[in-house]
């Protein structure tokens, strides 16, 4: 940190490093240039130079402001609530190109001349807004009425009920009032379809912002939002909450239940739904949370009267919910009647749909060809050298891949333990499903959408566009296919193995399974027909399967709330995971026990652990986890202070020099 002189001007600067701020003396000749919000080039240590943001300085008109004062407040809330240094918030919030050293200053840009063309009047755009049907109009009016007393409202609408059309009318009204809208989606894959719909109505008032765009494109959107002619509507994923808004009036969080809204790595590990709610509150804006399957926390707050609540129980154009048929694959496997991953019933429905020139979606919540390979003689399983996980086999590339660190390994020619050359593949991923489908239906045109086939924006859009325009008959995918995609010609959905979700450890697994199964099922029968869902499971008698069949969210909610209250989980308690990482496993265990003991001095029996997480080594770093269960009324700033004190104590221990401590607040 730069030394301070007795006289002169100083700046607290946020840098893209995991610390709060650094204080620098401002050179006398620059005192009139440096203002709050400016980007500045500073030295850290002997050799490193960073572009930082001036956080605190005396107020004067900015020359090159890259942030608004509202963003500063928002950053500080993120840092406090999610226990993250401001430097990490800075890294997450700014497009990379804006974190580089300034080169002569950046001017705020207005609308580019080559864009043209004057905005059409909002009245003209209103002519392109479709009329709401009576059920949608009733929901629209109820939302507006709810906002008279509560700033946050939950729109609980079944799949294909026309929620997007209601969003468009609310956006239109907000723009008429001279305000801006932030429309959040959980996945980049969804932006393609929604962008087309919104662009038809709002034209170049719409800006799109997500990580599949180039760094330059995202920087242009960011700069545009600071200009005199910002976008009126921003459509984007979770990072869009960090964009500057000058007159935000409405935030829409579509598919609010989705775990994709939670940032995992790197820090800050924020939840975009919670962050968006706080952003709206700080801006005096309204918030609409929309979903067919609300998160437990959101639905609880609505039931308690903290949020407004509007139900939309009827599908658009009186379409019926799909018929869900459960197939017990445990029994079929015992009878040796399964054909690969497919039951005879599912193959029959796929064949009939193809004969009718209709489309099929197949859901398998695991990518790759198989979960792992195993020596058929001694049972040896190849594992990652750097992570405590088995390697996933990818047949097309003929390699083994770690889905944690990304390390790729060649398939061994023989077992290193016994020399046997015969390996068997265990488990079924989307790649194997694709191979089997080609075998059963060789004439079908098949697309696959997972992290292996949809790595780029262009790849995402190509897969979706081909399926939407009937250029493929069967779409195989992971959870990407469950997230609100709208295809008119899909009559059959196959859920190949519901148990892969039911058996995931964690207090949210039951809720998450209901969300995913219900959302996937909702892709069927989207227009003019009752869809058919074939749900394959080894747990046909499990209550959650019946809840999904009956579309019975209320029963699932009641059961989960009772358990969570009993065992001190959300929505009754706030959960914080404290992670410790170190290369020395034995030393880490000792340090984790010391950290837990220190935390108990502040939090008592609210502290659980330390324990090994399910994956206890990633990138050669061993991991321990401590759980803190805090009452909802606990002050986030007081909790942060206690945790920072414990962390500082731990890092002062001589043997803890390479210990890394980080937090996950409200884990998903």
Q: Is 479 left (phi over 0), alpha (psi -120 to 50) or beta?
A: alpha
* Lateral strand order in the sheet of 48-56: 22-26, 9-14, 48-56, 39-44
3-state secondary structure (DSSP) of residue 134: helix
Query: Which superfamily does CATH assign the domain made up of 319-367+430-562 to?
Result: P-loop containing nucleotide triphosphate hydrolases (3.40.50.300)
Yes or no: is domain 123-316 CATH 3.60.15.10? Answer: no
Identical fold, 319-367+430-562 and 573-665:
no
Rounded mean pLDDT for each run of 10 residues along the chain, 668 residues in total? 49 82 81 88 80 75 64 93 93 82 45 37 62 93 97 92 93 96 87 86 92 85 90 96 96 95 94 98 97 96 98 76 92 94 97 95 88 90 93 89 92 92 88 95 94 80 89 91 76 92 85 91 73 93 92 95 96 97 97 98 97 94 97 91 96 95 96
Q: What residues pair up with 426 in beta bridges, in sequence order? A: 372
| Cβ neighbours, 10 Å, residue 77 | 19
Amino acid 107: pLDDT: 43
Kindly state the tokens that stand for 258.
């989705």
Ordered strands of the 323-328 beta sheet: 323-328, 532-537, 490-495, 359-363, 474-477, 446-449
Residues 6+ apart with CB under 8 A from 30: none
Supply the CATH classification number for the domain 9-99. Answer: 3.40.1440.60
458 Cβ contact list (under 8 Å, min separation 6): none
Question: Which tokens sit at 102?
Answer: 């300034």
Q: Which of 295, 290, 424, 441 is nearest to 360 (CA)?
A: 441
Contact 537, 328 (CB under 8 A): yes
| Separation between Cα atoms, residue 403 and residue 178, nearest integer Å | 46
Going by C-alpha positions, the residue among 433, 389, 432 that lies closest to residue 409 is: 389
- Name the 3-class secondary structure at 630: strand
Residue 270 and residue 292: Cα distance in Å, rounded? 23
- Name, in order, each residue with C-beta under 8 angstroms of 648's C-beta and a sequence gap of 6 or more: none
Q: What's the pLDDT at 562?
A: 96
Cα 230 to chain centroid, rounded: 26
Helix, coil or strand: residue 307? coil
Sign of CA dihedral 474, 478, 481, 482: positive
If phi > 0 it is left, if psi is from -120 to 50 it is alpha, else beta; for residue 389 that is beta
pLDDT for residue 2: 35
SS3 9: strand
Instruction: Could you please state the CATH topology (level 3) that the domain comprising 573-665 is classified under.
Output: Alpha-Beta Plaits (3.30.70)
Q: Where are the domains of the chain?
A: 9-99, 123-316, 319-367+430-562, 371-426, 573-665
Q: How far is CA 63 from CA 40, 51, 74, in A?
A: 12, 16, 22
CA distance 400 to 394: 6
């Amino acid at each position: 940190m730069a030394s301070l002189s007795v006289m002169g001007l100083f700046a607290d600067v946020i840098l893209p490093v995991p610390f709060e701020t650094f204080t620098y003396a401002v050179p006398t000749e620059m005192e009139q240039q440096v203002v709050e919000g400016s980007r500045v080039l500073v030295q850290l240590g002997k050799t490193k130079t960073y572009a930082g943001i001036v956080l605190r300085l005396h107020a004067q008109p900015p020359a090159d402001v890259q942030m608004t004062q509202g963003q500063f407040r928002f950053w500080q809330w993120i840092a406090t609530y999610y226990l993250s240094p401001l430097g990490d918030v800075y890294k997450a919030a700014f497009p990379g190109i804006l974190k580089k050293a300034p080169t002569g200053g950046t001017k705020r840009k207005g609308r580019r001349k080559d864009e043209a063309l004057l905005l059409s009047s909002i009245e003209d755009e209103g002519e392109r807004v479709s009329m709401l049907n009576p059920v949608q109009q009733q929901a629209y009016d109820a939302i507006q009425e709810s906002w008279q007393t509560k700033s946050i409202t939950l729109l609980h609408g079944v799949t294909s009920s026309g929620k997007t059309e209601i969003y468009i009318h609310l956006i239109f009204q907000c723009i008429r009032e001279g305000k801006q809208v932030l429309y959040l989606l959980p996945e980049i894959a969804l932006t393609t379809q929604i962008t087309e719909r919104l662009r038809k109505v709002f034209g170049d008032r719409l800006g799109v912002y997500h990580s599949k765009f180039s760094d330059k494109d995202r920087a242009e959107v960011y700069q545009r939002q600071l200009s005199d002619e910002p976008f009126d509507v921003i459509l984007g994923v979770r990072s869009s909450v960090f964009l500057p808004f000058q007159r935000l009036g409405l935030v829409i969080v579509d598919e609010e239940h989705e775990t994709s809204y939670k940032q995992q790595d790197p820090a800050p590990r924020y939840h975009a739904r919670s962050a968006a709610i706080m952003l709206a509150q700080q801006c005096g804006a309204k918030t609409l949370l929309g979903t067919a399957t609300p998160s437990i926390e959101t639905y609880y707050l609505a039931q308690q009267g903290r949020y407004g609540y509007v139900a939309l129980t009827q599908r658009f154009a009186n379409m019926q919910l799909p018929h869900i048929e459960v197939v017990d694959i445990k029994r079929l496997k015992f009878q040796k009647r399964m054909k690969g991953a497919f039951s005879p019933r599912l193959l029959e429905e796929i064949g009939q749909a193809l004969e009718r020139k209709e489309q099929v979606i197949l859901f398998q919540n695991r990518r790759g060809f198989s979960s792992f390979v195993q020596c058929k003689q001694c049972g040896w399983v190849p594992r990652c050298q750097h992570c405590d996980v088995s390697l996933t086999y990818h047949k097309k590339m003929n390699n083994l891949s770690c889905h944690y660190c990304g390390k790729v390994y060649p398939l061994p020619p023989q077992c290193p333990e016994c020399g046997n050359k015969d390996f068997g593949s265990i488990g079924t991923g989307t790649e194997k499903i694709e191979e089997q489908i080609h075998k059963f239906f060789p004439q079908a045109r098949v697309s696959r959408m997972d992290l292996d086939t949809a790595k780029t924006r262009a790849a995402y859009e190509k897969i979706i566009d081909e399926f939407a325009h009937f250029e493929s008959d069967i779409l195989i995918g992971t959870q990407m296919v469950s997230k609100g995609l709208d295809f008119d010609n899909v009559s059959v959905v196959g859920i190949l193995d519901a148990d892969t979700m039911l058996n995931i450890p964690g207090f949210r697994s039951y809720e998450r399974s209901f969300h995913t199964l219900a959302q996937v099922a909702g892709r069927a029968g989207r227009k003019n027909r009752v869809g058919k869902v074939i749900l394959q499971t080894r747990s046909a008698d499990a209550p959650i399967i019946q809840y999904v069949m009956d579309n019975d969210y209320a029963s699932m909610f009641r059961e989960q709330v009772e358990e969570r209250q009993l065992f001190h989980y959300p929505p009754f308690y706030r959960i914080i995971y404290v992670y410790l990482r170190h290369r020395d496993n034995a030393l880490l265990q000792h340090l984790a026990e010391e950290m837990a003991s220190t935390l108990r001095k502040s939090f008592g029996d609210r502290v659980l652990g330390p324990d090994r997480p399910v994956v206890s080594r990633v990138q050669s770093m061993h991991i321990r986890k401590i759980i803190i269960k805090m009452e909802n009324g606990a002050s986030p700033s007081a909790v942060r202070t206690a945790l920072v004190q414990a962390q500082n104590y731990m890092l002062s221990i001589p043997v803890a020099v390479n210990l890394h401590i980080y937090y996950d607040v409200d884990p998903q």
